[in-house]
């Protein structure tokens, strides 16, 4: 047998590097073979002869990937040439068709990539400015719900849900803000801006009710709200109310101030002050003119009312409305009116309310006609009852470092419990029971701006601080 194997061994010695190895050194050399090559390996049996000592004969031939690719390309070229000579018309047609399909596929992929994220467009974040009761958020990147938090940014695809006792206010970078009322669910469909500072904000109201107002955004920007298959595009400095009840197939979009355009299934309706559209899934949109609300007169917005320490009787008055059978007055401790301390119908445009103690209040009024149909709610005025017998004193106001979000500044701090806080003349709607507050400014212009924070307590104490910020 050894004699029979010797010719084979001689052949490998002649055609390759053949050597005598121990088993260990053979495997060591195999391990050191370059990874970028394909290796053919032949391991010969142990042989013995008069001329060779017993051992393992190992020989190999290494072929690189490059060599394999060149050989494969050459074979394909030869095959293609033969087929082309045999069937010239068929091969020309096939090549043209493949080229056409490849070009179409590349164009389609490029178009999809462009539509998905146009050049220069950047996603923005929205933020909670008020949270009351139970409010949940489901991030687009997660499958679980989490409790809403002031530090939690809201991005495209995020879902916000309020409970029967929950309400939330959300502000976007373009100044648009949404008040999400009880038992509502919304989806942030779009929130982006391009290099020209043109913004694109879109919110889908899946169920429930929202109040919204748009900011003074740059020309070319858009602010949209979707409900029941309809899309409302709102003009700058407009206010609207959107209601969606899928169970009863009831959908409506009301413009309180400004203007808007509603598009649905090829139908377009233009809306102005106190005009709304209502529709069902299978029907067309119906345009309705709503009754405008009275204008609050007294107490004026942000007015202090001083008392001698006892409960105070407050005089309320508003503008009378033609053909009004009466009015509905509501007073609340919070701007959302999620709970009220007074809800009364009166026949005249003025009334006196007693029993109000120290602190801040909000009030609004509606008119109603002889059939009982109510107008829209009026603007909300805030007033504060202050005990004038208590000597004015300085009050605590601590500010955290500002946090910048593009053109929006996040203001947080702490003051006395029960105090009110103003930021650049705008009131911080909610102050926590421990005096902490959280507020996002409207978008500020490029350059230097001054932010003024004023806190005031029920004893007449005032503390004002100013800080400069630079928007680049």
Q: What is the dihedral of CA 66, 70, 73, 75, to 10 degrees?
A: -130
Q: State yes or no: cis peptide before 204, omega within 30 of 0.
A: no
122-289 and 296-387 agree in CATH topology: no
Cα-trace Rg, the chain: 38
pTM above 0.95, yes or no: no
**Distance between CA atoms of residues 108 and 104, nearest Å:** 6
Top pLDDT among 410 and 217 is at 410
What percent of the chain has pLDDT above 90? Answer: 41
Residue 6's contacts (CB-CB under 8 Å, 6 or more residues apart) are 47, 49, 52
What three-state secondary structure class fits 88? helix
Longest CA–CA span in the chain (Å) reads 130
Superfamily of domain 296-387: Immunoglobulins (2.60.40.10)
Q: How many residues does the chain have?
A: 472
CATH architecture of 397-471: Sandwich (2.60)
Is 421's pLDDT higher than 80? Answer: yes
The tens digit of pLDDT for each residue in 295-340 reads 999 998 878 888 876 778 899 999 999 889 999 999 998 888 878 9
Domain boundaries of the chain, sorted by first residue: 1-116, 122-289, 296-387, 397-471
Q: Which helix (H) or strand (E) holds 145?
A: none
Domain 122-289 CATH assignment equals 2.60.120.1440: yes
What three-state secondary structure class fits 16? coil
Q: State yes or no: cis peptide before 96, omega within 30 of 0.
A: no
Q: Two tokens at 404? A: 């910048």
Task: Give the model's confidence band at 139: pLDDT under 50 very low, under 70 low, under 90 confident, else very high.
Answer: very high
Q: Which residues pair with 56 in a beta bridge?
A: 21
**For residue 269, what pLDDT is reported?**
97
Tell me the HSE value of 381 on the side-chain side, using a 13 A CA sphere.
Answer: 22
**For residue 109, what pLDDT is reported?**
43
Residue 137's contacts (CB-CB under 8 Å, 6 or more residues apart) are 145, 146, 147, 148, 152, 154, 158, 159, 160, 161
């Amino acid at each position: 047998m050894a004699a029979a194997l010797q010719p084979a061994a001689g052949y490998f010695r002649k055609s390759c590097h053949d050597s005598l190895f121990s088993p260990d050194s053979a495997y060591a050399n195999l391990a050191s073979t370059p990874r970028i090559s394909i290796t053919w390996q032949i391991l010969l049996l142990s042989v013995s002869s008069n001329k060779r000592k017993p051992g393992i004969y190992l020989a190999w031939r290494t072929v690189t990937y490059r060599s394999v690719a060149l050989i494969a390309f050459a074979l394909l070229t030869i095959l293609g040439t033969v087929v082309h000579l045999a069937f010239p018309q068929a091969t020309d047609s096939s090549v043209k068709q493949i080229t056409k399909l490849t070009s179409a596929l590349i164009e389609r992929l490029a178009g999809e990539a462009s539509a998905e994220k146009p050049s220069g467009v950047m996603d923005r974040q929205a933020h909670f400015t008020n949270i009351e009761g139970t409010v949940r958020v489901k991030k687009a990147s997660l499958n679980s719900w989490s409790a809403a938090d002031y530090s939690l940014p809201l991005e495209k695809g995020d879902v916000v849900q309020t409970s029967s006792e929950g309400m939330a206010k959300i502000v976007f970078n373009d100044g648009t803000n949404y008040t999400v009322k009880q038992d509502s669910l919304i989806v942030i469909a779009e929130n982006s801006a391009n290099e020209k500072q043109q913004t694109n904000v879109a919110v889908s109201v899946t169920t429930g009710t929202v109040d919204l107002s748009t900011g003074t955004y740059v020309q070319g920007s858009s602010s949209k709200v979707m409900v029941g298959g309809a899309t409302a595009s709102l003009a700058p400095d407009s206010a609207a109310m959107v209601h969606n009840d899928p169970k009863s197939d009831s959908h409506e979009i009301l413009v309180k101030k400004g203007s808007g355009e509603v598009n649905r299934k090829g139908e377009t309706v233009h809306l102005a002050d106190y005009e709304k559209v209502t529709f069902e899934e299978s029907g067309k949109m119906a345009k309705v003119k709503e009754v405008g609300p009275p204008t609050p007169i007294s107490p004026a917005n942000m007015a202090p009312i001083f008392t001698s320490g006892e409960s105070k009787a407050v005089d309320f008055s508003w503008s009378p409305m033609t053909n009004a059978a009466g009015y509905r007055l509501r007073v609340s401790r919070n701007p959302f009116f999620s709970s009220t301390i007074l809800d009364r119908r009166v026949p005249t445009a003025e009334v006196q309310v007693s029993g109000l103690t120290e602190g801040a209040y909000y009030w609004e009024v509606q008119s109603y006609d002889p059939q009982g149909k109510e107008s829209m709610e009026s603007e909300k005025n805030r007033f504060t009852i202050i005990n004038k017998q208590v000597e004015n004193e300085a009050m605590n106001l601590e500010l955290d470092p500002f946090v910048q979000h593009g053109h929006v500044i996040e203001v947080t701090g702490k003051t006395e419990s029960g105090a009110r806080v103003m930021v650049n003349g705008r009131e911080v709607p909610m102050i926590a029971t421990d005096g902490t507050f959280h507020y996002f400014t409207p978008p500020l212009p490029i350059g230097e701006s001054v932010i003024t924070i004023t806190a005031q307590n029920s004893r007449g104490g005032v503390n004002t601080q100013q800080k400069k910020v630079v928007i680049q």
